[in-house]
Amino acid sequence: MTVSDFAGTRNAYSTSSGEAMWRKIMLTGRTPDKIIFTVDTSGREEDEPVVERFWFNARKEGEPKKVTGQTSFTMAVPVRWSQGYRGVDIPHTRETGKDNVDLLTIYKDGSFVQEEWSIVTWRGKFFQYVEKIFLGQAVKKRGGYDVVALEASNAYPGASFSGIWDQVGDLVTRYAAESIEKVMQKHKVPAVAWNPPEVPNPKSDQWHRGVVMYFNGVTGTGRVWDIEDQQSYFVHRKAVEEEHGDLPVLESMTAVHFLVSDAPVKGQLPPIEKIHSVASVVEIVAA
């Protein structure tokens, strides 16, 4: 199956939330073994001239492909099928290193944006999905170069861009040193702080008050910060109680109430059993 109209502009999507956009792919009775889609960024307005643009998979070995000057990018996502309830065929695309690619754009002023593009499946449905992972700035520091966040949503407790995305961090700092004429000093870049919203008390003591640190719509996983005990919890898409355009997602820095699972996994963060945004709770009460 080929999808060729996956444009890189927000009006091309049926649903959006925060920094993510997605839309459902309609199948016509077929069970494809792969989906090929084209990303078209020709409709974008760039505030700064682009120095370099790379197309790569952040979780796969290999040198990123330089695509500076290109406005169209094509990838193929394999589809696996399994038999579900009552013999219904269920599609799966989640596969590390194969189901998504990253588009990294570095601008003349040293700022950059990393996006993740993918085909996501949920409850038998296909979705085209794109998410802004990080907006940052390459800076000069004593002894070398570094990366700092430009948005508060990327400055959650314990956040480290170079620690999580080491391949991308190395790429950004390398090209800042080689291709950018004047890189800003780190102390001259205004520091952004994680500024979570107020979270009202839940109706029951069993529910925790928290704020979404981040949620990756491709993997369907993320972390939530507990306001009271000051620790993070693991959340999976299946725990999210509300859906947006048929796909459960959580937006960074959203106030939430959540229940902790009574079946923790050894060596991992405590998992969340159920979670919903406070906004959805208010709407339900008002109704």
Could you tell me if 277 and 250 are in contact, meaning their C-beta atoms sit under 8 angstroms apart? yes
The confidence score (pLDDT) of residue 11 equals 47
The confidence score (pLDDT) of residue 255 equals 95
Share above pLDDT 70 across residues of the chain, in percent, rounded to a whole number: 86
Domain boundaries, the chain: 2-188, 208-286
Could you tell me if 221 and 233 are in contact, meaning their C-beta atoms sit under 8 angstroms apart? no
Could you tell me if 46 and 86 are in contact, meaning their C-beta atoms sit under 8 angstroms apart? no
pLDDT greater than 70 at residue 29? no
CATH number for 208-286 (one of 1.10.3210.10, 3.30.70.1560, 2.40.50.140, 3.90.1420.10): it is 2.40.50.140
Give the pLDDT band (50/70/90) at residue 201: very high
Exposed, middle or buried, 225 (CB in 10 Å: 0-12/13-18/19+)?
A: buried
